[in-house]
A and B are shown apart, each in its own frame.
Chain A
Amino acid sequence: MTALTMAKALNAGLRRALEADPKVVIAGQDVGKLGGVFRVTEGLQKDFGEHRVIDSPLAESGIVGTSIGMALRGYRPVCEIQFDGFVFPAFDQIVTQVAKLHFRSRGMLRMPLVIRIPYGGGIGAVEHHSESPEAYFCHTPGLKVVTCSNPADAYWMIQQAIASDDPIIFLEPKRRYHERAEIDEAGTPPPLHSARVVRGGTDVTLVAYGPMVKTCLDAAEAANEEGHDLEVIDLRTLSPLDIAVVDESVQKTGRVVTVHEAQLNLGLGAELAARISEQCFYSLEAPVLRVAGFDTPYPPSRVEEDYLPDLDRVLDMVDRSLAY
């Protein structure tokens, strides 16, 4: 067992992937000598060389587009997009090319690409450094989308994502990069595309992912003091959703609140609400309720704590659910 921060856990996972398969390459801005602006790739270029840990020109579409070409020759590129708000220059390559080449070729071509994106707010950043673009990618057939909420998942999920023959959008909650936890490197991880109940409870189900898992766990602790027993689910995989875990929980609790930083309108919560209502209609004691970012552009950082869902907003929504 080793105690690592999420950033270090990702680094360790990337290192193992580079060791395990010579076709794994890392590409992105500042990923080499600097080790990335969050130091997730620190030391990797020194140990694996400039041919495998590639400092890219400052061009996101170029990073993803050239990674497609490398994947077509059997490589397994791991692209780093420096911040969430900068993925959009690469959006075309991701949705029109990465997502479709397997389909277009009727399965003859594979796109084993991982696109790592530090995402979400809460770090006092300037504009375009705090966004949650996951719904765009979940809406795109051909992509798979996952996000880690803790160092152990980060360590295993990055390796599983690299081993996947499908393209994976790998979202890293940047405000959790420096949180630390024990990792059992000899352990066996759950499948990549599986959700997990991270806290058992009987009264209300909280469904969260990425940065909001910790927020929901804190909320569950607080609710416990008020006599409410909340179950917390970490989705881990956003596309495909592992909806069975959610269904099972909702059939038990009858009440569910979804929580994400991304804007409310057409966010993951909307899809969850639809799926839950289709499959758990007779178990529901209350409508599916959603806590999310407001439908404004991400605000200036001095008010981001008001914008982002926090413990109080989660508990407020839990109260509303319980009031039905």
Chain B
Amino acid sequence: MSDASGASGEIELVQLLTPEGVRLEHPEYSFSGDDDQIKGFYRDMVLTRRVDAEATALQRQGQLGLWASCLGQEAAQVGSGRALGKQDFVFPTYREHGVAWCLGVDPVQLLGLFRGVDLGGWDSQQNRFHLYTIVIGAQTLHATGYAMAVERDGLVGTGDPDRDMAVIGYFGDGASSEGDVNEAFIFASSYNAPIVFFCQNNQWAISEPFERQSRVPLYRRAAGFGFPGVRVDGNDVLAVYAATTVALERARSGSGPSLIEAYTYRMGAHTTSDDPTKYRLADELEHWRLKDPIERVRAYLTRSGSGDEAFFAEVEAEASDYAADLRARCLALPDPHLLDLFDHVYADQTPYLADQKAKYAEYLATFEDTGPEAGGRQAQPADGDQPQPAYGGVH
């Protein structure tokens, strides 16, 4: 008989690679790739972690206003990101730097948002990676609506791997309390939408532990909405990859939504503005440090002989070079001009706003003869004469 919380029964956790780097068999999920693919995951995770560390450093040095670190969640993000097919579309939160990496979003464009030069500068359609959403959980509805549109476009269940597509919507344990996430579950279920809800349960919503959000394991909520849910070891890139592959294929084939709870841990602060020492114990951090997503892959590759010291050193060197280049490109990001922004409020500009822009331009023009050294304002250049940032370093 179940207890009142509904939390009875053994909590399952799909794991295919132990923290010690030992491969496991699972009756339902398996990783059928080779060690070269695992080496690719390793590289992705190391580079993601290095980009993340560089961003944290840039914030500490005053170059970013804020950074939301994904430290510790690399396996959840790379495992799911690399499982995506070439048509699949992603709706991230604001912490999916590892998924962005897998989709080819230039990390400097992630930095742009946190530096304050734009509000999300990448081409979301081309990258199949929607802009970061900061309002918690709101994107899960966008993902569901997008999936409903995919179904209307006839791109589900045709059996053609070049046509069928799925949508994946990311969110966290905190977001699971939001109405929007629950509404997304209902819409997706009701319309059998081709979507994977991917929850990174990193145990903390700023200072609130997971127990404040839910009395039951999150993956079990799916049953109440009428679709399958599974909890995977979120620090096990093979298990995440395997479970996401299955869920995406289920969606593409027309069998509807599913929920993956990637059980992981936010090793860093919520953001650079947060101080986790005020609400959690160092012991807990140490406990999770032993489950590090990268170390276990390194242990496995070392044991299998597929990765030697030269390989690990090569990835390390690549990450360092990449970070140095990223830092330089971040510092070179040009500030936007407020005048330019008036043109992007509406697709069809209003006379009212055009007039407001023109008056502001006139106002700025009154300062043209006086520079900052003369105690006046710096006039801004007019539209269009500022070169666009050239984004390099595509990986």
Contacts and interface: CB of A to CB of B under 8 A. Distances in A.
Interface string A278-308: 0000000000000000000000000000000
Contact of B150 (A73, A109, A240): A73
Interface magnitude class on chain A: 35 or more
Given A66-B187, A70-B146, A73-B149, A102 B345 contact: yes
A48 to B, nearest CB: 12
A69 B351 contact: no
Given A57-B190, A107-B344, A164-B348, A69 B183 contact: no
B203 interface: no
B125 to A, nearest CB: 7
Contact of A240 (B119, B147, B353): B353
A59 B186 CA distance: 9
A266 to B, nearest CB: 18
Nearest to B132: A104
B372 to A, nearest CB: 27
Contacts of B184: 62, 65-66
A71 to B, nearest CB: 8
Interface in B120-150: 120-121, 123-125, 130-131, 133, 135, 138, 140-150
A242 to B, nearest CB: 8
A324 B361 CA distance: 39
A69 B91 CA distance: 10
Contacts of A100: 119
A198 interface: no
Interface stretch (A1-9, A90-98, A227-235): A90-98
Interface string A179-212: 0000000000000010000000000000000000
Among B184, B345, B353: residue with most chain A CB under 10 A:
B345
Interface string A72-93: 1111000000000000010011
B295 interface: no
Contacts of A74: 149
Interface string A211-227: 00000000000000000
A241 interface: yes
A92 B181 CA distance: 13
Nearest to A108: B123
Contact of A66 (B119, B133, B148, B351): B148
B345 A96 contact: no
A89 B178 CA distance: 12
Interface in A17-71: 25, 51, 56-57, 59, 61-62, 64-71
B345 A103 contact: yes
Contacts of B149: 69-70, 72-75
A107 B153 CA distance: 24
Where chain B touches its partner, the secondary structure class is: helix
B341 interface: yes
Contact of A72 (B146, B183, B344, B350): B146
Contacts of A108: 123-125
A283 B300 CA distance: 83
Contacts of B119: 100, 103-105
B190 A69 contact: no
Interface in B258-279: none
A166 B345 CA distance: 9
A62 B141 contact: yes
A121 B223 CA distance: 43
Contacts of B180: 61-62, 65, 92-93
A62 B186 CA distance: 9
Given A61-B180, A97-B142, A142 B345 contact: yes
B88 interface: no
Nearest to B153: A73
A319 to B, nearest CB: 32
Contact of B348 (A68, A70, A166): A166
Top 5 closest A-B pairs, CB basis? A69-B145, A65-B141, A66-B145, A62-B183, A73-B149
Interface of B: 91, 118-121, 123-125, 130-131, 133, 135, 138, 140-150, 152-153, 179-180, 183-184, 186-187, 190, 341, 343-348, 350-353
12 contacts: A59-B186, A62-B187, A66-B187, A72-B130, A75-B152, A104-B119, A106-B118, A107-B344, A112-B347, A166-B347, A166-B348, A240-B353
Interface of A: 25, 51, 56-57, 59, 61-62, 64-75, 89, 92-93, 96-97, 100-110, 112, 141-142, 144, 164-166, 193, 240-241, 243
